[in-house]
Structure 1
Amino acid sequence: MFQKADYQLCILIAVSAALIGCHKPLEDSVAKQIKAETSAKAASEQAKSLTQVAGQATVPVEKAEPVLKNTMPQNAQPYIGRYQITISCKDPFVKCDQGTSDFVINLLADGTAHRTLIHLGQITFDSNFHYRQDRWSYDAQHHQVILHRSNGVEFFYRIDKDENLVMDLDKIAHASAQNQQYFAEGNPFPQQAYRLLKEKVS
């Protein structure tokens, strides 16, 4: 009885081994085919994604450069632009040792103002030697542009007939207690009422 059972078990094991042996090359072949198809599909998808990337190489201008939101009132918009003057380094206001320095103010449509001093090809910022974003506004009653510096000090510029900016030294010196304190602390005051010429837009 045990011998018959052992014999049947041996036959079952032999048949199973034979079946497994027969199917092994078939499984290997199927596995290779699946791998080949997967590799081909992956290569195709990679080529497709590269084509899509190449097709999108040119980014639309409106996405690459966001347009500044115009927050300035209508009567202030004519004064949006770039203003510049060259000042001798003899004036401590421009913070250079010799030669000249270009003092540039950019008034932007979003109400921000950017001041830079450019001397001998090097750019420094005139607010404690580092950049701080300012704000600007237009005073219609006095026909002036006011720069509201980030430190609370305000600079006043009269607008001449050619839309250039001319420093109002009296207002700059005395407009507020904060202005008076700022210059009393030894911060450089302009030696003259400089006229910053507006850059003409072609």
Structure 2
Amino acid sequence: MGCLCISLILTACSRSTPPDADQTVSASEAQPTSTAHSQQSGKKLTELAGQASMPNESVSKVQQDLVDEQAPYVGRYHVKISCKDDFVQCSEGSAEYILTLAADGSAYRSIVYTGKLFSEKMAEDSNIRTYRRDTWSVNPEDSELVVHLEEGAEFYYRVDKQHNLILDLDRTLDLDNQINQHLFAAGYPMPTQAYRLIKDQ
């Protein structure tokens, strides 16, 4: 009688388990380790939140501090520049110089002339690309923002109280800055004024 009860209990317990449980376990065990790892690395942070191993907190804090530090400067800046300045290299009138600073550290520069982008032919003739993607960083303690050109040169800006950018000509054209001097010597147009780029509100 006692044996019969035990077998009934075991049978009842085994029925509460989903019928595919054995197949599910065997499928996950059969999966190669590298595939499981690659799937895990592709998951979103919200999917990993409940896992036992937490991300490195010091790295996360540094990244968060960087985001917080850059946040006030993210946005679109612009200034109208006369075509008399070779910096925008247009024939007459004026051009709008637009600098967009993205939260991921990318800097996008474009030059708009009479309401439309320059043609590629004009860009080839003028040694300046009307649209380009660079990177940027900021040093809030010195109120300085730097746009790092993909060629290695750097454009320096002072940041005013309204978070507008003022081109720092002295630092950008510094003769001791060999990379910048090489860029200008290769034909990249030099700015002639400390332009003030207004941030869009």
**TM-score bracket for the superposition, by shorter chain length:** 0.5 to 0.7
- The answer as to whether partners of 2:111 and 2:130 remain within 8 angstroms in 1 is no
Offset of residue 130 of structure 1: 5.5
State which of 77, 84, 93 in structure 2 corresponds to 1:83.
Answer: 77
Counterpart of 2:146 in structure 1 is: 146
Offset of residue 107 of structure 1: 0.3
Counterpart of 2:59 in structure 1 is: none
In structure 2, what is the Cα distance between the partners aligned to 1:133 and 1:71? 24
In structure 2, what is the Cα distance between the partners aligned to 1:71 and 1:99? 43
Aligned residues: 132
- The answer as to whether partners of 1:71 and 1:110 remain within 8 angstroms in 2 is no
Offset of residue 71 of structure 1: 9.2
In structure 2, what is the Cα distance between the partners aligned to 1:101 and 1:71? 36
State which of 103, 108, 115 in structure 1 corresponds to 2:109.
Answer: 115
- The answer as to whether partners of 1:137 and 1:147 remain within 8 angstroms in 2 is yes
In structure 2, what is the Cα distance between the partners aligned to 1:118 and 1:104? 8
Map 1:19-38; keep pairs closer than 5 Å.
none
Counterpart of 1:199 in structure 2 is: 200
Q: Secondary structure at the match of 2:87?
A: helix
Offset of residue 157 of structure 1: 0.6
TM-score by length of 1: 0.60
Counterpart of 2:4 in structure 1 is: none
Amino acid at match of 1:179: N
Deviations 1:108-137 (A, max 9, x none): 111101000000122147983254320110
Map 1:93-112; keep pairs closer than 5 Å.
93-112=87-106
Counterpart of 1:168 in structure 2 is: 168
In structure 1, what is the Cα distance between the partners aligned to 2:162 and 2:151? 30
Counterpart of 2:133 in structure 1 is: 133
TM-score by length of 2: 0.60
Offset of residue 183 of structure 1: 1.8
124-133 vs 138-147, which moves further? 124-133
In structure 2, what is the Cα distance between the partners aligned to 1:107 and 1:72? 14
Q: Secondary structure at the match of 1:95?
A: coil
In structure 2, what is the Cα distance between the partners aligned to 1:104 and 1:171? 21
In structure 1, what is the Cα distance between the partners aligned to 2:82 and 2:132? 24
Amino acid at match of 2:191: P
Task: State the superposition RMSD in angstroms.
Answer: 2.4
Offset of residue 75 of structure 1: 1.7
